[in-house]
Structure 1
Amino acid sequence: MPKYLLLKHYRGAPDAVNNVPMDQWTPQELIDHVQYMEDFAERLRGTGEFVDHRALSPQGTFVRSDGEGRPPVTDGPFPETKDLIAGWTIIDVESYERALELAAELSAAPGAGGKPIHEWLELRPFLTEWPTVSE
């Protein structure tokens, strides 16, 4: 069965249907949002479609090689960044269509006022074999 990554982006820009920024949610709204995702994962454990999920801290660092063995490091992501990777879920499903179905369901997690946020989730298949190069 193919595995897919559902990448959860927190967008500061008002592009979701329920676009109240997460830092303005009440503690109960945050609890309800996380519980929705836990319930989603538990149901998929029962069907064998759940692999793993994690939330990510908003703090991070960008690192790259400078070619001299001293990687330049920058702080980030920054609060003014409009798009922040908030977490991920890995699913193992029978088809791409099933992956789309589950991504749409997870997109409806509740936000402010208990209303579905209809957030964008990035759906990425795992690479199962390396591409071949023909000459």
Structure 2
Amino acid sequence: MPKYLVLKHYRGAPAPTNDVPGDRWTPQEWADHIQFMRDFAERLQDSGEFVSADAVAPEGTWVRFDGEGKPPVTDGPFAETKDLIAGWMIIDVADHDRALQLAGELSSAPGAGGKPLGEWLELRPVMSEPPTVTE
């Protein structure tokens, strides 16, 4: 079964249909949103389609190889970026259509006022082997 990475972006284009910034959500709206995510993951655990998931903090650090043994490090991601990854989920499903179906359901997590968030989620297949180059 193919695996897919579902990326949840904190902000970015296009905007969700329920576009109320998270800092204006009530504690109960946040609790409802998080409970939806937990219930969704539990349902996928029961069906055998859940692999793993986590939320990630908005703070981060950029690191790269420098060839000298001491990698350069900078702050980031920066506030002016359009996208911040808020979390991710890996699912193991029968096919691409099922991955699309589940991502669509996940996008309906409640936001402000309990209305479905309608956020865009990035869905990417997990590579099981390196791509083949043909000429």
TM bin (shorter chain): over 0.9
SS in 2 for 1:122: strand
After TM superposition, give the deviation of residue 26 of structure 1 in Å.
1.0
TM-score by length of 2: 0.92
Deviations 1:40-90 (A, max 9, x none): 011111111111110001111011122222222111123332210001011
CA 1:15–1:46 in structure 2 vs 1: closer, same or farther (change >3 Å)? same
Residue pair 2:33, 2:111 contacting (<8 A) in 1 also: yes
- Whole-Å separation in 2 of the counterparts to 1:65 and 1:108: 40
Instruction: Map 1:1-135 onto structure 2 (within 5 A).
Output: 1-11=1-11, 15-134=15-134
Residue pair 1:12, 1:21 contacting (<8 A) in 2 also: no
- Structure 1 unaligned blocks of 5 or more: none
Residue pair 2:14, 2:120 contacting (<8 A) in 1 also: no
Same amino acid, percent of matched pairs = 70
CA 1:16–1:101 in structure 2 vs 1: closer, same or farther (change >3 Å)? same
TM-score by length of 1: 0.92
CA 1:56–1:44 in structure 2 vs 1: closer, same or farther (change >3 Å)? same
Moved more, 33-42 or 7-16: 7-16
Indicate the RMSD between aligned Cα atoms, in angstroms.
1.6
4+ residue runs over 6 A deviation: none
Deviations 1:7-41 (A, max 9, x none): 11110667111111112211111111110000101
Aligned length: 135
Residue pair 1:58, 1:86 contacting (<8 A) in 2 also: yes
After TM superposition, give the deviation of residue 134 of structure 1 in Å.
3.9
- Whole-Å separation in 1 of the counterparts to 2:73 and 2:20: 32
CA 1:80–1:28 in structure 2 vs 1: closer, same or farther (change >3 Å)? farther
Letter in 2 for 1:81: T
- Structure 2 unaligned blocks of 5 or more: none
SS in 2 for 1:118: coil
